[in-house]
Amino acid sequence: MFWLLKRLGRRLVRTGNLLVTDARGEQHRFGDGSGTPIHIAIRTRLAERAISLNPSLAVPEAYMAGDLDFIEGDLIDFVRLSYANLDLAYARLATLKAAEIGRRLAKRIHQWNPAPRSRANVKHHYDLSGELYRLFLDDDMQYSCAYFERPDMTLDAAQLAKKRHLAAKLAMRPGLSILDIGSGWGGLGIYLAQEFDADVLGVTLSDEQHKVSTDRAHRLGLERHVHFEIRDYRSLQERFDRIVSVGMFEHVGVNHYRAFFDTSAKLLKPDGVMVLHAIGRSGPPAATAPFIRKHIFPGGYIPALSEVLPSIERSGLMVTDVEILRLHYAETIRHWRERFAANRERAKALYDERFCRMWEFYLAASEGAFRWQDLMVFQIQMTKRNDTLPLTRDYMVETARVLAHETDPPKQRRRRKA
């Protein structure tokens, strides 16, 4: 084994049960022997050198290339061991701290996302084939955190619960105008139009998502109520009763938070309500992992709340409710990871083995970050006026019950009043 890699392994892996077979066929044990046994094989000396110099990027890249394989255990076991030791190592090793400081200093460069660059970043991830996403998402193609009201919920049921949860926080009622910033595959906009006769404008920068969502609206006969457009949110001039953004804020970039909330405040009517649903950190600001930044979400960034709230305050919007969803995304990604594994051969037919390995590492590392690290999802509700919403949160509970058909749906109640 390359001497620097052996030294790094002994310093980093203090807990767990890791056996490594190196490129020469020699075996090396790391950790204290506790937990699930994990046995990996590193196939080339080149991979050994790369991992010793930059493990956070070189380990996933070696797995993608087939230069790192699992003989015992699997990716999620390895991710758990890595995160457990990373916490210990970060407190102990100055080199890790220096690397993190360097990444933080560079993050504003990585997240400079003017409109043309935003479009290119979105195309990198979201303009992959819609068939790929159908392999592991729910039937409504919700590519964001589900809401597990009960641990035994199916993915489809939990994604429907998420849409109910958001509608309740938006204080929805029939006939409102809605802006969906980062409208994805169209599921949320279609849901709000169907349940509330809302007029929805969904904006996206993804050609593939625009095509799928527009086709869905036409098939359902909703083209008079739901419109999806390829537009940057910064180019909009219309005003809306409600604004919702789900899973898009992660791509805005810390340099552009002020513009995002200033634009949102301009587009929201005086008595309007906005809900932002995004991935965040429960800890202090950090930097995007190099593998995610390079291969999955270029330009992406997961903020701490301390980076988000000041921009809201300066925009003139006021925060009326904040909710933290802790393990909901870990469970969502677990479903995605298992579904992707079940359809792996179909994904390989769409792309190739390297892509499948990249996607496997992305899903396992992401699940682990929500389950064992400091990632979470926040939902921030905002208004322009103090008296826009009721005094208590009871209206959210009641709306969710109505949408779950525990009482009459909104459209039926409106028809009876008519």
299: left (phi over 0), alpha (psi -120 to 50) or beta: left
Cβ–Cβ < 8 Å for 325, 377: yes
pLDDT at 236: 96
pLDDT at 416: 35
Which amino acid is present at 347?
A
d(CA 224, CA 263): 26
**Closest of 203, 80, 136, 205 to residue 347, by C-alpha:** 136
The model's pTM: 0.89
The residues near 102 (Cβ < 8 Å, ≥ 6 apart) are none
pLDDT tens for the chain, 418 residues long, are 778 899 999 999 999 999 999 999 999 999 999 999 999 999 999 999 999 999 999 999 999 999 999 999 999 999 999 999 986 555 444 554 555 555 555 555 555 556 655 555 555 455 578 899 999 999 999 999 999 999 999 999 999 999 999 999 999 999 999 999 999 999 999 999 999 999 999 999 999 999 999 999 999 999 999 999 999 999 999 999 999 999 999 999 888 999 999 999 999 999 999 999 999 999 999 888 899 999 998 888 999 999 999 999 999 999 999 999 999 999 999 999 999 999 999 999 999 999 999 999 999 999 999 999 999 999 999 999 999 999 999 999 999 999 998 655 555 444 333 3
d(CA 18, CA 39): 6
| Residue 119 C-beta-side C-alpha neighbours within 13 Å | 10
What's the pLDDT tens digit per position in 108-150? 555 555 665 555 555 545 557 889 999 999 999 999 999 999 9
Q: Please name the helix (run of DSSP H) or strand (run of DSSP E) that holds residue 350, with its range, or none.
A: helix 344-350
